[in-house]
Amino acid sequence: MLDDFLLRALLAGLMVALAAGPLGCFVVWRRMAYFGDATAHAALLGVALALGFALNLYLGIVLVALAMAMTVSALAGRGWAMDTTLGVLAHSALACGLVAVSYLPGVRVDLTSYLFGDILAVSRADLAVIALGAGAVLALLVWRWRALLTATLSEDLAHAAGINPARERLVLTVALAIVVAVSLKIVGALLIAAMLIIPAAAARNLARGPESMALGAIVLGGLAVWGGLQLSLAQDTPSGPSIVVVAAGLFLATTLGRALLQKRSTR
């Protein structure tokens, strides 16, 4: 049944939405949006290294994304100005990736598929890796949920309750690296952060609590994947940007809906 490339694309996208939804909420709550960007941009360097050293593609991306995320965390801990540091690192990583790819001998690498995603080319093997990665991230987040929420709220409160915030930060960093790796084929390096942030931000407009926001982000992310694929098919537009365009539409709709509701309730 997985012969149909459209079905594979949809499944892959939905699985990414399943992991990116709740993780995206933490990215939004912790104001790590740019952090997600930096990690995602580093993914391209991972692609180049994996191809250059004949490593597994996903492994290469996870390793580089992890290295990037750790570097950023370490620098942040030393009191560097965060936005500047991230700006330097994110764009340097992207540029290094682009340059490194051009050095690859023989192979003609289709850069656009890595930059903007190529969800329609998802193979069965890709699907298995994405399922594994997304499943692992989801399980990790569910398992650590309370500790993650507490540490996100306040590191001091976490310490007082016997939770080590540094460990929870590491959990999020690892989850982020995995999500970046499995999303690369779906939305591409330039737009991975959008899949994390936009569904979560849209869900904020509808949610009453952290759990409902995470669920909402999954549902809205899934809707964006489905709608984006339809758009891509009908209009022959690139799949990754199409998914993000639909997600942005959902964000706009929920934001307007919330504003209207608030206006009515204050009357």
Partner 1 sequence: MSLIAAQNLAVRLGGREVLHSVALSIDPGEIVTIVGPNGSGKSTLVRALLGVVPLAQGKITRKPGLRIGYVPQKLHIDPTMPLPVGRFLSLPDRQSTARMTEVLGRVGVPDVLAQDMTTLSGGQFQRVLLARALLSRPDILILDEATAGLDQPGTASFYRLIEDVRRELGCAVLAVSHDLHVVMSASDRVICLNGHICCSGAPHVVRDAPEYRALFGHGTGGALALYQHEHDHDHDHDHDHEEHAHAG
Q: Which residues bind partner 1 (CB under 8 A)?
A: 28-31, 79, 146-147, 149-150, 152-161, 163, 201, 204, 207-213
Q: Which is nearer to partner 1, 79 or 105 (CB)?
A: 79
* Locus of tokens 């790796």: 181
Give me 190's structure tokens: 């330039």
- Residue 108 beta carbon to partner 1: minimum distance, rounded to whole angstroms: 43
The HSE-up count of residue 56 (CA atoms within 13 Å, CB side) is 9
CB atoms < 10 A from the CB of 257, how many?
Answer: 12
Q: Give min distance, CB of 209 to partner 1, in A.
A: 5
Compare residues 205 and 232 and give the one whose CB is closer to partner 1: 205
- The residue among 212, 216, 190 whose CA lies nearest residue 202 is 216
> Closest separation between CB of residue 152 and partner 1, Å?
8
In this complex, which beta carbon is closest to partner 1, that of residue 3 or of residue 156? 156
Nearer to partner 1, 81 or 160 (CB): 160
- To the nearest whole angstrom, how small is the minimum distance from the Cβ of residue 33 to partner 1? 10
Q: What is the Cα Rg of the chain in Å?
A: 18
Tokens of 15: 């699985």
User: Tokens in use for 40?
Assistant: 């995602």
Q: By C-beta, is 158 or 186 nearer to partner 1?
A: 158
DSSP-derived letter for residue 162 is: T
Amino acid, res. 122? V
| Residue 241: Cβ within 10 Å count | 19
